[in-house]
Amino acid sequence: MWGDMAATLSLVIVSLAGLALVVFDAFNNRHVATPWIAGLALLAGFIFEIVGLGGPEGTAYSDMLRTGGSAAFVNALVLGSGVLTVILSVPYLKKIGHNIGEVYALILFATVGMLVLGAANNLIAVFVGLETMSICLYILTGFVRSESGSAESALKYFLLGAFSTGFFLYGIALLYGATGTMDFSAMKAGVEDGGGVMFWGGVSLLLVGFLFKVSAAPFHMWTPDAYQGAPTPIAGFMATASKTAAFGALIIILYKALPTERWTDVLAVFAVITMVVGNIIALSQQNVKRMLAYSSIAHAGYVLVGLSSGLVEGYSGALFYLMVYVIMNIGAFGVVALLEWDGKEGSEQTLDSLAGVGYRKPLLGWAMVVFMFSLSGFPPLAGFLGKWAVFAPAVDAGLVWLAIIGVLASAVSAYYYLRVLVVMFMKTETEASSKLADSFTIPRSSAAVIVLCVILLFVFGLTTSVIELTDGFFQSGSVATVLGP
């Protein structure tokens, strides 16, 4: 047990910090140390996982969880997203008058679920991580109870999430009935002996649950409402960390448990639907957060393009894209959080309210330029390299048509991304239907997060070293021992 706890030290640290925060906040409500405890715990876990990237892969807790390698990479992204979210949340929650300790405890517990999900090596671990994460996110979405929009968003998210959980559980039951195991590698060996209708029925239901969690169409309906009603930094956390953990688990399941030739075409169809629906509907959005929500749906489609290839290059490219996606969206949601004016977590804020911001608040304006161009896929930013990393394996796998659709969808997305910049730099304040106050100051902590995200997008846009690192997660040697043949 002690060896397993040492191998999953980040999980242990974040879990204990969450429990400590609950007790601490009960006696020291709204204490200034609360976010520091949460942030330092997440940072410690992040450093531990970064160190684990270069170490050997292994398993813990009777092979229920994976450690090192791809699990460490996914966990590092989740923990890094958590650290940046805590930093952005402190001034934001003070501004809206809801700087309560429970928020930071819930962020930690949601992160615990994501760590279990991203490192899962068994369907039971997947379910435990998924539900731990989801329950915390339901509460975080609606914790501003005074706003009807926030409560409505949380209710929609909860009801649809509970419905998807039913599909997920039935899928697990069918897979267990067909293979007699819930371990990923053993499951693949079982289906090679003949899976039948029960196995593929279970796979179908399992995919429904995963596609819901990653906001893939047509299971995306909860996403714009949840993002619009949730506090903006929390919406950024949901858009990045939860999607990264869910995709991390899906990648391992596809690689270890399912015969490649049987599911690639299915994922390709979902990738097309997701890219088209996300980008087309985003074109008509006037609310900034809803536009970013549909944007996140489209980006789920891009990741699915890489997974559709069925190649190790596609898996590694998907992991790299998730890293880039985390950086872009944490930065974009951080800027939007600072530019809110409606007093309702941005749920009523229109794009026109950002008119002239590029000149009045140049740091936010030019940072948004970087984020929007990167989301569009322009070089030399990391968004371009990320899309290359998922489209190129699809071409190598003979899915040229899918890569072409992805490129065209990305070209369409440039319209609504660049429209943000047009409003911020080319539209005067007098032309705006609603005006943003000039009096607010940019907190140094938030500015530091935004600048860091800008720098990282340039750094990762000019190097392929991370892609080469993720390629190693799916190659022979010690990795094969963990990920299976």
In the chain, where are the structural domains located?
2-483
Mean pLDDT of the chain: 87
Residue 427: pLDDT over 90: no
β-bridge mates for residue 252, sequence order: none
Structure tokens at 96: 């809206």
> Greater confidence, 188 or 384?
384
Residue 484: pLDDT over 50: no
Sign of CA dihedral 377, 325, 395, 308: negative
CB 98 within 8 A of CB 29: no
Give the chain's end-to-end CA distance (angstroms, integer): 28
Section 158-171 average pLDDT: 90
Which residue type is seen at 453?
Answer: C
pLDDT of residue 305: 95
Residue 483: pLDDT over 50: no
Section 455-471 average pLDDT: 88
Supply angle C-alpha 212, 218, 221, rounded to 5. 70
195/204 Cα distance (integer angstroms): 13
pLDDT of residue 40: 96
Cis bond upstream, residue 231 (ω within 30): no
Which residue type is seen at 102?
Answer: E
> What pLDDT band is residue 476 in, cutting at 50, 70 and 90?
very low
Query: What stretch of H or E contains 331?
Result: helix 312-338
84/76 Cα distance (integer angstroms): 12
Residue 479: pLDDT over 50: no
pLDDT of residue 401: 95
Per-residue pLDDT of 394-426, as tens digits, reads 999 999 999 999 999 999 999 999 999 998 888
> What pLDDT band is residue 436 in, cutting at 50, 70 and 90?
low
> What pLDDT band is residue 458 in, cutting at 50, 70 and 90?
very high
What percent of the chain is modeled with pLDDT above 70?
91
Residue 210: pLDDT over 60: yes
3-state secondary structure of 67: strand
Residue 317: pLDDT over 50: yes
> What pLDDT band is residue 258 in, cutting at 50, 70 and 90?
confident
pLDDT of residue 83: 96
Per-residue pLDDT of 16-47, as tens digits, reads 999 999 999 888 888 888 999 999 999 999 99
3-state secondary structure of 61: coil
Q: Residue 229: is it exposed, middle or buried by C-beta count within 10 angstroms (0-12/13-18/19+)?
A: buried
CB 205 within 8 A of CB 168: yes
pLDDT of residue 128: 94
Structure tokens at 227: 């993002």
Residue 55: pLDDT over 80: no
> Greater confidence, 182 or 437?
182
Residue 457: pLDDT over 80: yes
> What pLDDT band is residue 256 in, cutting at 50, 70 and 90?
confident
Cβ within 8 Å of residue 284, ≥6 positions away: none
Residue 168: pLDDT over 80: yes
Q: Residue 412: is it exposed, middle or buried by C-beta count within 10 angstroms (0-12/13-18/19+)?
A: middle
Section 194-201 average pLDDT: 78
Cβ within 8 Å of residue 288, ≥6 positions away: 336, 346, 349, 350, 351, 354, 420
Q: Which phi and psi (to 5°) does residue 262 adopt?
A: -100, -15
Lowest mean pLDDT among 128-132, 186-190, 448-452: 186-190
CB 417 within 8 A of CB 376: yes
Per-residue pLDDT of 337-372, as tens digits, reads 888 766 665 667 778 888 888 888 889 999 999 999
CB 26 within 8 A of CB 450: no
